[in-house]
Amino acid sequence: MTPTIDKQFVLNHNLRDVIRTGSQEAVREYMQVFSQLTPREKGIKAIRQLRFYDSGYIEEIPETIVHSTNGNYKCRSGWFNTVFWNLEALAAEGILDESQSKKVLAVQTDINKRLQTSLTKREDIDETNAILRETIEHLITRYQIKPEEFV
């Protein structure tokens, strides 16, 4: 069954939830509603997602390489890609200010260089966690978002 796509649905669900329904019409509706959100509403939505990337993944770096079937580990390249893709999208939409956008890009560039030549290290996760948390605080401050709005 295709969900009703309204502002509240868009604020509480990700596009991938809609894609899973298999309805192209629902995807179009979602994108149309999303495009009408204010920057503040997009900030609230972003905080929810970034908090998930921060706390919904396992911090541990196992001794063996982990794959997507092993669980949500931060040491996987997919976690880094997803985090930075989302941060880039926020910067491109103008949801982040120029200063925060530059910080995100600097961290992303640094980590991408390191991950091209070695396996994930603790510092890679710690640095990404730090930019995630800093970006969440940036959004809270920039848009004067109260905690009850994003929990």
Write down the pLDDT at residue 51. 97
Residue 147 DSSP label = G
Q: Do the beta carbons of residue 135 and residue 50 sit within 8 Å?
A: yes
Question: pTM of the prediction?
Answer: 0.92
* H helix and E strand count, the chain: 7, 0
Question: Amino acid identity of 98?
Answer: E
- pLDDT tens per residue across span 53-104: 999 999 999 999 999 899 999 999 999 999 999 999 999 999 999 999 999 9
Write down the pLDDT at residue 2. 67
d(CA 43, CA 5): 19
Write down the pLDDT at residue 17. 85
- pLDDT tens per residue across span 19-64: 988 889 999 999 999 999 999 999 999 999 999 999 999 999 999 9
Write down the pLDDT at residue 1. 65
If you average pLDDT over residues 137-148, what whole number do you get? 97
Write down the pLDDT at residue 126. 98
Write down the pLDDT at residue 21. 86
d(CA 63, CA 85): 27
Q: Do the beta carbons of residue 111 and residue 67 sit within 8 Å?
A: no
Determine the 3-state secondary structure of 2 from DSSP.
coil
